[in-house]
Amino acid sequence: MKTRYALLAVFLCIVVAVGTLGVAGQSPAEFSLESESTVTTPPQTVSNQFTDGELTVRQTAVVEPDAALTGTATVPDPDEQTYFIQFRNSDRRIIDDKATDGAETTYDFDAGPESPGSYAVNIWDPNEQLVKAVLPVVI
């Protein structure tokens, strides 16, 4: 029964994240988001005015209440460019963010104060004003 509930929660997270955030996935191999708590999901491709071309979601992070969301963000050789790793709620509001100008950055967001529901982590390019990668999150 718990497995069924977990799978339903993951599916709902993907639907909500794609529908409310309007962004989902990874752009071609240059940008990626990983988490220590991901589950594999069926691929889903999305493209809109907030994304850098087509992005494909292949995994979702599942975080227990009162736990931290940790993982690694990878960006191409940044050429002294700063990107932002953002933790967002389903209303697209930024809960927390971290600047990165390195090729690989570890992120650690405190999900404890947040209510159970759908969230996302994304890599934001402030120069192009585009999301380069996103990882749906279920708390």
Three-state DSSP class for residue 77: coil
d(CA 109, CA 86): 9
2-138 has CATH 2.60.40.1930 classification? yes
Q: What are phi and psi of 40, to 5 degrees?
A: -75, 140
Q: Which residue reads 């585009």 in tokens? A: 130
Under DSSP, the state recorded for 132 is: E
pTM, two decimals, is 0.75
Q: What are the average pLDDT values for consecutive 10-residue runs of the chain, which has 139 residues? A: 48 46 47 90 84 85 92 82 92 92 88 91 91 92
